[in-house]
Chain A
Amino acid sequence: CCCCNEVGCKPGADGDDSLYPIAVLIDELRNEDVQLRLNSIKKLSTIALALGVERTRTELLPFLTDTIYDEDEVLLALAEQLGNFTMLVGGPEYVHCLLPPLESLATVEETVVRDKAVESLRKISQEHSPVDLEVHFEPLVKRLASGDWFTSRTSACGLFSVCYPRVSSTVKAEIRQHFRTLCSDDTPMVRRAAASKLGEFAKVLELDYVKSDIISLFTALASDEQDSVRLLAVEACVSIATLLPQEDLESLVMPTLRQAAEDKSWRVRYMVADKFSETFVSLQISLCFNCIHSVLTIWLSDLCLLCPVSEQELVSDTNQHVKSALASVIMGLSTILGKDNTIEHLLPLFLAQLKDECPEVRLNIISNLDCVNEVIGIRQLSQSLLPAIVELAEDAKWRVRLAIIEYMPLLAGQLGVEFFDEKLNTLCMAWLIDHVYAIREAATCNLMKLVEKFGAEWAQNTIVPKVLGMANDPNYLHRMTTLFCINALSEACGQDITTKQMLPVVLKMSNDQVANVRFNVAKSLQKIGPVLDSNALQTEVKPVLEKLATDTDMDVKYFAQEAISDANVEQRLVQQAAFIFPADQTCCSLAGSQDRSEQRNTVVSITACNLMNSRIACTNPSQTVSFPNFFQPDLHAPVHSLFSAATQIEFDQTNE
């Protein structure tokens, strides 16, 4: 799809070495493999450096501008690269050369590409001189703003605020005019884009224009026919309110805000509720007492909706979504209002909401408990909390159950171990046999977090027996849950519990009649191996794995072999460690240590070295560039610093 431009360079064009970089790029961009094209685009800066600034301007950029027809993935990378290209085209003086390709990218269909192009344009706008901004940048914004296709007009919306502050007053007037036009565009997509930038644009405008232009646009957008536009206008309200002097707020902003708070679409009211604390804070600072009062009056009328006893009629279903938004912000209020006010005014509301029929409302209260905990302590709520939690835990919607499980560790931490054992433990165990896998999985993970919180001893007394009991369940899914729990818990529970209590159960399950259970036994053994002591590993685990490796089922065989080879490698590495540091006392004792976690540290470091070796293309790891060569300076240093160096390398490897 990409043909040569007037530069006329062909890949491999002989003789002229100077055309070389572009020729390579052209060739690469022709490749069928997108991944390859993507990688070439990501190395654009290298090509620009090879070309030098002048040829980057005269050859590379025109080529890129002409050939922007690739997949969105490639275009995204290109849009991002160009935002960092200023120095590569010769600095701020020439930065405007980057505008043509970014302009085309800002008009493509895919939102992600467009947004990235706009982001890059905003970035390089800062590097334009005021003159260049007027000569090159502003015309581009104008072209985009009057484009035929909505995508270019949408992109334009994000560019007004970055060029406005540094242009002459005539150009400023034009920019304001363009923004006005886009706010009344006939497609809702553009109006939404304009509405979402309204607050940002207001911030760079002179106060007089905020009052004359922005307020009228705000009012118009806030009464748009589409609620998706109206709610974005509400969002802008927060920044507009901070810009205006107090005396103007009542007349300019409040009528629209009140209207939004009573909008017929719950989405708009939801947004008002969502922005509640933000608006509240900004108004509190900037408003006189009178205004605060009037704001509160509006809010109180909506807050009334929260209280099912007060106005039964108002609690119709629509309000549930607004209610649930309010539920999430109302908790935040407690930090603003302080302890006494919270207990007096908010506590009754919390308690009422915990009994709300809508699970979202209850969830929102529970998920924000930490705010309240800081102010008044969770005990005030615990009596009402429990029934709410129990009911959510048994909700028919699995997503609701999932949400409450995820808050469990937080709740457990705040309510304390006693309360937990007494009231919540049974719930946590019941989730393990939920009929939805996602719940069982989350429940497993929950147990692990609880053990981390309450300690191994607690685990041994309360949950381990129950988990292990499930190994005899007639349902194989429940038996597998035992294995998954063991995988998750072994590390937190430590060597003793794992070896003495969990391991025998796992080993016994290797005779299960369901193949899925058997191969999960293999996986579990592999997983808990590092926690076990080497004696148990050799005498108990290995024979079982070897037996599984001859299983009739293909998958069981596969995972058993995986586990065996994993164990072998580890074994060998431990020996290797002893071999490499024969002279080092610490290391020898580590390698021979019965403490598996210390052995493992050694193994980790050596694995890192081996990875390093294989990376430098050494084909035979056994004859590898030996460990010390790699860490010459550290050779005689204490072993622990070696560990940290090696671990760091492994870390880098993982991140690469």
Chain B
Amino acid sequence: MHGVSSNSTPPPTQLNKIKYSGGPQLVKKERRHSSSRFSLTKNRELQKLPALKDSPLVEQEELFLQKLRQCCVLFDFVSDPLSDLKYKEVKRAGLNEMVEYISHNSEVVTESIYPEAVLMFSVNLFRTLPPSSNPTGAEFDPEEDEPTLEAAWPHLQLVYEFFLRFLESVDFQPNVAKKHIDQKFVMSLLELFDSEDPRERDFLKTILHRIYGKFLGLRAYIRRQINNIFYRFIYETEHHNGIAELLEILGSIINGFALPLKEEHKMFLIRVLLPLHKVKSLSVYHPQLAYCAVQFLEKDSSLTEPVIMGLLKFWPKTHSPKEVMFLNELEEILDVIEPSEFVKVQEPLFRQLAKCVSSPHFQVAERALYYWNNEYIMSLISDNAAKILPIMFPALYKNSKSHWNKTIHGLIYNALKLFMEMNQKLFDDCTQHYKAEKQKEKHKLKQREESWLKIQDLAKQNPQVPPCPPKLHVSSPLIMWSVSGPLSQGLKDLKKDKVLMRRKSELPQDVYTIKALEAHKRAEEYLTANQEAL
């Protein structure tokens, strides 16, 4: 789970989310490329221009501009991939040449280049993205479905590459560029993050990271707009392809936050990052999200309590794989927790862990019990044994015999043994107490039932029972508890019109897509920190 690099950079988003599982491969009859666009340019007959390096220095700027303008011509890659082959090649070669030109020459990014370069980028890329694969049928599943790749990629890739080199050029002056790279530009750029093509999102990520680094005036705006994307994702659509990439950028931003943290940034943690844990496709962006959360805590340990309480609030109730992710993240947090902060959250935290070790899903129980192999966590428990043991003991003791999975028995045995070694006296007390409580349990249940019956009697005596009284719950509470359906059903039912269907099965994969994604070279593997301006 931990990133490849140290903690200094956010974990990079996987290009190919579906792990190739050795299942059947197939070449699709009909390659359903992304169908983003494009209103084609009417006149697409491009003339091949002389090469930049062969022309006299004085004419180079004008030639460069001409080439940029030529590249504003758009071609059809979808309905007829073989159309305009000759002119497509002119554009491809031109873009390629400009990429080389701008990276290997200095003083070529002159003032007149800015508007044309930005225009060329906008014309080629800013478009309304297509809907995810099948708008009328089943919902696109970001965890499982193969992405639809961008058909015009041979050109788009070079446009992205050119623009990235342009931003990174030594001559690049943000002050000149800010007339063209403005809020509207950033907004359009952010809209593209929903692209299904991971290669496109990879470029977008690096470009936005550069813009954030170079344009101080846009930083607050970018953060605000990213927040809006997240809010829409969390509270309205639950669908967006670029959450992992956006979080990766934010990870690098958080990394550069100055201390003490601004209130705005803390609000971002509480109001955006924590609720992001709620969304059902969490697995797609969880490593990046967990990285962001841990970064915050490393900066300011006083945030530990709200973060852990937030995780506990959004703890999954029916989704076991998600629960395992939460346990992973929680362990990462506990690894960096201050003992003074630990004390503040230990009780609710271990009440949740007690539920996890009793989970009938053995992977959840197993993951929770692995905490007992973590020396730092064990030392924290040991320091607070008087509080923690009484919470954990009943869950461990009960499942030491009754859990269906044998591996769990071993792990529980180990955990109980550690507890016993920690404090034999306390352990014995807990055993006694457990047995006593067990005795009382039935009595308590009965008492609860009686109290409700008493309330019902009181309710029936109410002289003001309206002529058409609201339905009394006369059935015994005991029965009500036993028939309770899966929790969260209410919430799910309400959201169900969004979810058409989800099925998981081993799908054959398109060889072309696998290869295309493998061939993609990242502009940058890890995003470095963007230092906050003070």
Q: Is the CB of B128 within 8 A of A50?
A: no
Please indicate the chain A residues that have their CB under 8 angstroms from the CB of B39 in the complex: 316, 318
For residue B86, give the distance in angstroms from its CB to the closest CB of chain A.
Answer: 20
Quick check: is A112 within 8 A (CB to CB) of the other chain? yes
State whether the Cβ of B30 lies closer than 8 Å to any Cβ in chain A: yes
Contact B26 A396 (CB under 8 A): yes
CB contacts (< 8 Å) of A429 on chain B: these are none
Known: A318-B128, A363-B137, A397-B134. A24 touches B451 (CB 8 A): yes
Report yes or no: A264 in contact with B275, Cβ–Cβ below 8 A. Answer: no
Which listed residue (A32, A46, A189, A399) contacts B133, Cβ 8 A? Answer: A399
Bound complex: CA A146 to CA B29 (Å): 56
B473 CB contacts on chain A under 8 angstroms: 42-43, 46
Bound state CA distance, A320 and B351, in angstroms? 53
Flag whether B343 is at the interface (Cβ < 8 A). no
Residues of B within 8 A of A367 (CB): 136
Stretch among A33-41, A174-182, A524-532 lining the B interface:
A33-41
Q: Which of these binds chain A: B59-67, B113-121, B254-262, B458-466?
A: B458-466
Residues of A within 8 A of B454 (CB): 20
**Can you name the residue of chain B whose Cβ is closest to the Cβ of A23?**
B451
A14: B residues at CB distance < 8 A: none
| From A357, A435, A437, residue with most partner B Cβ within 10 Å | A435
A91 to B40, CA, bound (A): 66
Assess the A39–B30 pair: CB atoms within 8 A: no
CA distance A28 to B92 in the complex (A): 70
One of A34, A49, A227, A360 near B134 (C-beta < 8 A): A360
Q: How many Å lie between the Cα of A436 and that of B144 in the bound state?
A: 14
State in angstroms the CA–CA spacing of A430 and B231 once bound together.
Answer: 45
Interface residues of A in 75-113 (CB under 8 A from B): 76-77, 84, 87-88, 90-91, 109-112
From B35, B465, B495, contact of A318 by CB (8 A): B35
Among A38, A45, A91, residue most surrounded by chain B Cβ atoms (within 10 Å)? A45
Q: Shortest distance in angstroms between B361's beta carbon and chain A's nearest beta carbon?
A: 18
Does A250 reach chain B (CB closer than 8 Å)? no
Contact between A52 and B456 (Cβ–Cβ < 8 Å)? no
User: B231 — which chain A residues lie within 8 A by C-beta?
Assistant: 150, 187, 189
Q: Contact check, A396 vs B29: say whether CB atoms are below 8 A apart.
A: yes
Does A267 touch B at the CB level, under 8 Å? Answer: yes
Interface mask (A380-394 → B, CB under 8 Å = 1, otherwise 0): 000000000000000
Q: In this assembly, does B37 line the interface, its C-beta being within 8 Å of a C-beta of chain A?
A: yes
Number of A-B pairs, beta carbon distance below 8 Å: 180
Contacts A73-B487, A264-B128, A360-B136 given: A49-B235 contact, CB under 8 Å?
A: no
Q: How far is the CB of A23 from chain B (nearest CB, A)?
A: 9
Contact of A49 among B26, B472, B481 (CB under 8 A): B472
Inter-subunit contact B508/A435 (CB<8 Å): yes
- Whether B137 pairs with A402 at a CB distance below 8 angstroms is yes
Complex contact B507–A32 (CB within 8 A):
no
B462/A87 in contact, CB under 8 A: no
Contact B505 A313 (CB under 8 A): no
Q: A24, B455: Cβ atoms under 8 Å?
A: yes
Given A39-B481, A71-B313, A84-B470, A46 and B235 contact (CB-CB distance below 8 Å): no
Known A35-B481, A73-B488, A76-B491: A364·B136 in contact at CB below 8 Å: yes
Q: Which residues of B contact A395 (CB under 8 A)?
A: 30
Is the Cβ of A188 less than 8 Å from the Cβ of B232? yes
Among B184, B232, B470, B480, point to the contact of A189 (Cβ < 8 A).
Answer: B232
Determine whether B471 belongs to the interface, using a CB cutoff of 8 Å to chain A: yes
State whether the Cβ of A656 lies closer than 8 Å to any Cβ in chain B. Answer: yes
Complex contacts, A20 vs chain B, CB 8 Å: 451, 454-455, 458
State which residues 21-35 of A face B: CB under 8 Å. Answer: 21, 24, 28, 32, 34-35
Tell me if A299 is interfacial: C-beta within 8 Å of chain B: no
Q: Does B490 contact A (CB under 8 A)?
A: yes
B275 touches A317 (CB 8 A): no
Are A88 and B470 in contact, CB atoms less than 8 angstroms apart?
yes
**Bound Cα distance A363, B138 (Å):** 13
Bound-state Cα–Cα, A395 to B36, Å? 21
Q: Is the CB of B235 within 8 A of A21?
A: no
Given A76-B491, A316-B38, A436-B507, A21 contacting B455 (CB threshold 8 A): yes
**Cα distance A321–B78 in the bound complex, in angstroms:** 14
Instruction: Specify the chain B residue showing the minimal Cβ separation from A149.
Output: B271
Q: Is B56 an interface residue (CB 8 A)?
A: no
A328 contacts which chain B residues (CB < 8 A)? Answer: 136
Residues in B whose Cβ lies below 8 Å from that of A51: 458
- Closest Cβ of chain B to A267, distance in Å, is 6
Nearest CB of chain B from residue A93's CB, rounded to whole Å: 13
A45 touches B470 (CB 8 A): yes
Q: Is B217 an interface residue (CB 8 A)?
A: no
**Candidates A34, A46, A53; contact of B456 at CB < 8 Å:** A46
Q: Given A43-B473, A112-B491, A437-B505, is A400 in contact with B137 using a C-beta cutoff of 8 Å?
A: yes
Partner of B455, one of A47, A90, A324: A47
Q: Provide the bound-state CA to CA distance between A90 and B463, in Å.
A: 12
Minimal beta-carbon separation of A294 from chain B (angstroms): 24
The complex places the Cα of A47 from the Cα of B491 at a distance, in Å, of 24
Whether a CB of chain B sits under 8 angstroms from the CB of A627 is: no
Whole-angstrom distance between the alpha carbons of A264 and B191 in the complex? 14
Contact A403 B136 (CB under 8 A): yes
A652 in the interface (beta carbon within 8 A): no
The answer to the question of A286 belonging to the interface, with a C-beta cut-off of 8 Å to chain B, is no
Nearest to B474 among chain A residues (CB) is A46
Residues of A within 8 A of B79 (CB): 315-317, 357
Interface set, chain B 117-144, CB cutoff 8 A to A = 127-128, 130-131, 133-138
Residues in chain A near residue B313, CB distance under 8 A: 71
Whether B520 sits at the interface, judged by CB under 8 Å, is no
Q: How far is the CA of A318 from the CA of B135 in the complex (A)?
A: 14
> Which A residue sits closest to B37, measured CB to CB?
A318
A313 to B41, CA, bound (A): 10
Complex CA gap A434/B123 in Å reads 43
Q: Is A613 an interface residue (CB 8 A)?
A: no
Assembly CA distance A36 to B464 (angstroms): 28
Distance, CA A21 to CA B459, complexed state (A): 10
Q: List the 5 closest A-B pairs by CB distance, nearest first.
A: A49-B459, A50-B458, A317-B35, A87-B466, A396-B28
Please name 19 pairs of A and B residues whose Cβ atoms are closer than 8 Å in the assembled complex, sorted by A.
A20-B454, A38-B487, A46-B456, A46-B459, A49-B470, A52-B464, A53-B464, A73-B487, A87-B468, A87-B470, A112-B491, A317-B36, A318-B37, A321-B130, A360-B134, A399-B134, A402-B138, A403-B138, A436-B507
- 19 further contact pairs, Cβ within 8 A, besides A192-B236, A436-B505: A20-B451, A20-B454, A28-B448, A36-B481, A73-B490, A87-B468, A87-B469, A87-B470, A88-B466, A109-B275, A111-B236, A116-B494, A228-B232, A266-B128, A316-B79, A360-B135, A363-B136, A398-B507, A615-B479
